[in-house]
Amino acid sequence: MGYFVPYPDLDIHVSNTKSSRQNRMKSALAGKATVASGLGPVVTLDAITKSHPMSNADHTIRDIHDILRSYYKVARKRFVDNVCMYATMYALVYGPDTPLKLFSPQFVSRLSDEQLGEVAGEDPRKKKDRARLLKEIKDLEAGRKVLN
């Protein structure tokens, strides 16, 4: 359904329509004009009748085309703006809840000790090595004590 929201600025003004109709007529007829002496450009009646060959259906289709074209243009601009502004920029880059802001102090403080250990803790192999070395030191200390 084609709604046309009533809004003062949107009405095609009567005066405009009149002048555009005149212009339209002029531009359509200009090509058929011949110059008659003393009268300036003249269009014969036959030429005028021939210049209007469209059927009703063709006329309607022409109107639909123009309306669709105008609406498409406006809608496309609106759509591109909306997608750019709301969907991508706001959701991904600038908004309060973007992926860029996910890694925050709050996020870190929510992690469990286990998870933190996994991320920032030592390599398991190093951990094992360290434990082994500590044990070795302890054993050697014990051995030294015994020798003393």
Partner 1 sequence: MDKFGHQYRFKTDDDVPGTQIGRKSDKSGDGLKNISSRRTPNAPELDDILAFDDRVDSASSVDIFEWLKSTYQNGRGFELGTFDCSLLGVAMRQQAAKWEAISCGYAGDTVAIVHSFITKLLETLCLNERVSQRLLDLLLDGLLEQYSKTITQVKSFVNVELASVPMTLNHYFNDNLEKWWVTSSPIPI
Interacting positions 12-51 with partner 1 (CB under 8 A): 12, 16-17, 20-21, 23-25, 27-29, 48, 51
Picking from 18, 22, 20, 26, the residue whose alpha carbon sits closest to that of residue 43 is 26
Contacting residue, 36, 44, 94, 107, with partner 1 by CB under 8 A: 107
CB of 41 to partner 1, least distance (A): 15
Q: Please identify which residue in the block is written with the tokens 């090595």.
A: 129
Q: Which amino acid appears at position 34 of this protein?
A: T
Q: Among 119, 125, 144, 145, which residue interacts with partner 1 (rule: CB under 8 A)?
A: 119
Least Å distance, CB 141 to partner 1, is: 33
Angstrom CA distances, 14 to 64, 121, 126, 146, stand at: 21, 78, 86, 114
